[in-house]
Structure 1
Amino acid sequence: MPGFTLSARFAARFRSRIIASIAFLSALVFVMPLGGCSLPGGSQASSASSSSLKTVTFMLDWAPDTNHVGVYVAKHQGLYEAAGISVDVLATSQAGADQAVDAGSADFALSTLNNVAVADSKGAQNKMVLDVQQKPSAVWCALASNTSITRPRDLDGKIFASFGSSEDDAVIRRMIQTDGGTGTFDKVMVGTSTFETMTSGQADFGGFYDTWEGVESRLDGPALTCFWEHDYGVPGNGQQIGIITNQSLIDSDPDTVRAFVQATKQGYEWAYAHPDDAAQILVDEAADANIDINLAKASMKEIVDDQYWGDPDAMANGSFTLGSLDYEAGQEWLDFQNEAGAYEDADGNALTTAPQARDLANDTFLK
């Protein structure tokens, strides 16, 4: 099945590969509230915050985009204050948001169910408590000018711009094999940008998120040829993008976890119902990120039009709650990846039993 053509200039930030790619941000050794340094989009604690509010921290997984918009909306609309909390947005740490949450350096962060599985397999106790994205948005792309690649089996023998993730390898191998290829390819490590790695000729293809980089591509060019993993035999959804915390915080302060989750959910619900206004809030609240308002609005439009956060009608009639985990789709992905040997324990041994989605998430705070 041939791919479709996108156009774009990428700031390649494929989140589930953040741990490997973030090394170049060596200045961010210390976790601190953003306001004048490092990655843009964070915020200092407001000097006007009431002393009665409990301060919690939320760590970005990279620079702000529409996956974070519910947090910015909740801050802007006063939803956190109404819930009795004040939220500081932090730059991601050098080790990554997942490690920061496990270490207690951040109370909450944006991550994926797959990242939780990787970390918890090595001994972390992170939990996803709100799933923003209900279906996969990952795409695998080559430059359209590379006419030797028109379908996944053409990736056989080509060079992948890798962030060092064995989970990526399993996905690409399955896509190639489903399309009739052998599933063999070479890899080169990405420096700071997948797109630059490809345009410089070091790699033939890479991975992106269609709801941000894909939208950016369609606005700016150049053209890419892309493939969706679920069209080529990759089961489930491990890239459920959402909010994580640590089990220790759940155990010690469940009321604060509930307050943050409930207010954040309301932020995403408002953004889903008011996409253009939410895009403007994102641009304004994360002013130092210099987000293009056209990109933010187009991204929100795609999220709403394609129902990435869920069916609005189902939300309206109460049959679906925004932020709910799709445990079945998550488990299908985890089983697939474990069969491919993607998950390892702290000693580097492959797991014999797949991580369990219901052990990696807790969405009871949504209600």
Structure 2
Amino acid sequence: MKKILTAATILLLMLTACGGNDSESQDLEDITFVLDWTPNTNHTGIYVAQDQGFFEEEGLDVEIIMPGEASADQLIASGKADFGISYQEGITEARIQDVPIVSIAAVIQHNTSGFASPEEKGITSPKDFEGKKYGGWGAPLEEAVLSSLMQQEDADVNEVEIVNIGDADFFTAVERDVDFTWIYYGWTGIEAELRGQSINMVYLTDYSEKLDYYTPVIATGEEMIENNPETVQKFMNAAAKGYQFAIDNPEESADILIEAVPDLDPELVKASQEWLSPKYQDDAEQWGVQELEVWENYAEWMLDHELLEEPLDAEAAFTNEFLPEEES
């Protein structure tokens, strides 16, 4: 009798366990999130949401992937990734070409990028770009931005030698190949601080309000929004919690990112996170909010500089619809 009860109990436990796993597996929806670049503190909120179970609470099983040969925008637009990291400038260009990608949250409220150079190069304003060598990635946008800033100081962009350095490391490039490049201060600038290397920054936002655009953003495809709005809402509920956690707990958030991506420099991650956490939301009413004026201003700037073939329908390029309601 004892043997029979034991066997029955074991069978019952096995069936319960199997049933539980099936139920759990069925309850979680598989989601793919593609990064724009190697993992860094722009992405912390996503890793926090994954680590803290915020995605799971919403019924999502999120896999974070790298873009590979195809860009994040291409993967999102084609449906090969459900969500990902993009940029206002990229989405603006994509939508003019009828690529159905939409920004659903601003990761950082203001543009923290700018042109960086070693202090000894003496580049402290756009005028100083003349006679110097700029290292970029070969996009027409770069020359347009350089020209826009330089024109304000009666400088000529034709006096700048522009070379394509691709993915070259900033510190190696400015020591060996070029005088200045375009960086995000929150990562490369902080790394310069840690290295004890003094750099000069020429921030885009110091010279043009229209260049204070959203970079980076979280994006998805129009088809995802149309066919699976509940999934988009669930994803954004969790992502918003993740970034709010990173705003409130920079040190713990940095540890989460370091544990998830052990190849990162822990000192850099912690210093970058401390610098960036207050800038996620900054002066916005809540994390992720985007304003129509920002999208219109930047698209107008691109059109004025012949980077767009036609005006952008800015209202279709982004939405705040899926940002969770603030708790009262």
Measure the CA separation in 1 of the matches of 2:141 and 2:242: 31
1:277 aligns with 2:245: no
Measure the CA separation in 2 of the matches of 1:269 and 1:113: 22
Q: Deviations over 1:88-128 (max 9, x none)?
A: 11111312101111111111111111111122222210001
Conserved in 2, the CA contact under 8 Å of 1:179 and 1:232? no
After TM superposition, list the pairs within 5 Å mapping 1:185-200 onto structure 2: 185-195=160-170, 196-200=172-176
Conserved in 1, the CA contact under 8 Å of 2:246 and 2:277? no
Q: Partner of 1:222: helix, strand, or coil?
A: coil
Q: Partner of 2:210: helix, strand, or coil?
A: coil
| Residue of structure 2 equivalent to 1:361 | 318
Deviation at 1:333, TM superposition (A): 1.4
| Residue identity in the other structure for 2:153 | D
Conserved in 2, the CA contact under 8 Å of 1:236 and 1:328? no
| Residue of structure 2 equivalent to 1:292 | 265
Deviation at 1:292, TM superposition (A): 2.1
TM-score by length of 1: 0.78
Deviation at 1:231, TM superposition (A): 1.4
1:208 aligns with one of 183, 200, 203: 183
| Residue of structure 2 equivalent to 1:310 | 282
| Residue of structure 1 equivalent to 2:151 | 177
Which has the larger share of helix? 2
Deviation at 1:49, TM superposition (A): 6.4
Measure the CA separation in 1 of the matches of 2:110 and 2:66: 26
Q: Partner of 1:172: helix, strand, or coil?
A: helix
1:96 aligns with 2:71: yes
Q: Could you tell which deviates more after superposition, 255-264 or 236-245? A: 236-245
Q: Deviations over 1:134-173 (max 9, x none)?
A: 00100101222224x3321011242211212222222111
Conserved in 2, the CA contact under 8 Å of 1:152 and 1:175? yes
Q: Could you tell which deviates more after superposition, 94-103 or 157-166? A: 157-166
Measure the CA separation in 2 of the matches of 1:49 and 1:178: 59
Conserved in 1, the CA contact under 8 Å of 2:280 and 2:287? no
Q: Partner of 2:212: helix, strand, or coil?
A: coil
Q: Could you tell which deviates more after superposition, 98-107 or 236-245? A: 236-245
With over 3 angstroms needed to count, the CA separation of the structure-2 counterparts of 1:165 and 1:151, relative to structure 1, is same
Deviation at 1:206, TM superposition (A): 0.8
Deviation at 1:188, TM superposition (A): 0.8
1:123 aligns with one of 87, 98, 103: 98
After TM superposition, list the pairs within 5 Å mapping 1:8-157 onto structure 2: 50-147=25-122, 149-157=123-131
Q: Partner of 1:335: helix, strand, or coil?
A: helix
| Residue of structure 2 equivalent to 1:242 | 217
| Residue of structure 2 equivalent to 1:339 | 304
Q: Partner of 1:302: helix, strand, or coil?
A: helix
With over 3 angstroms needed to count, the CA separation of the structure-2 counterparts of 1:249 and 1:293, relative to structure 1, is same
2:197 aligns with one of 222, 245, 248: 222
Measure the CA separation in 1 of the matches of 2:195 and 2:29: 43
Measure the CA separation in 2 of the matches of 1:110 and 1:270: 19
Q: Partner of 1:207: helix, strand, or coil?
A: strand
Conserved in 2, the CA contact under 8 Å of 1:194 and 1:206? no
| Residue identity in the other structure for 1:123 | D
Measure the CA separation in 1 of the matches of 2:23 and 2:106: 31
Q: Deviations over 1:61-92 (max 9, x none)?
A: 11111111111000101011110110011111
With over 3 angstroms needed to count, the CA separation of the structure-2 counterparts of 1:361 and 1:63, relative to structure 1, is same
TM-score by length of 2: 0.86
Conserved in 1, the CA contact under 8 Å of 2:39 and 2:261? yes
Conserved in 1, the CA contact under 8 Å of 2:49 and 2:241? yes
Percent identity reads: 28
Q: Deviations over 1:200-229 (max 9, x none)?
A: 13x221100011111111111433222111
| Residue identity in the other structure for 2:266 | I
Q: Could you tell which deviates more after superposition, 133-142 or 324-333? A: 324-333
CA RMSD, aligned part only?
A: 1.9
| Residue of structure 2 equivalent to 1:37 | none
Deviation at 1:256, TM superposition (A): 0.6
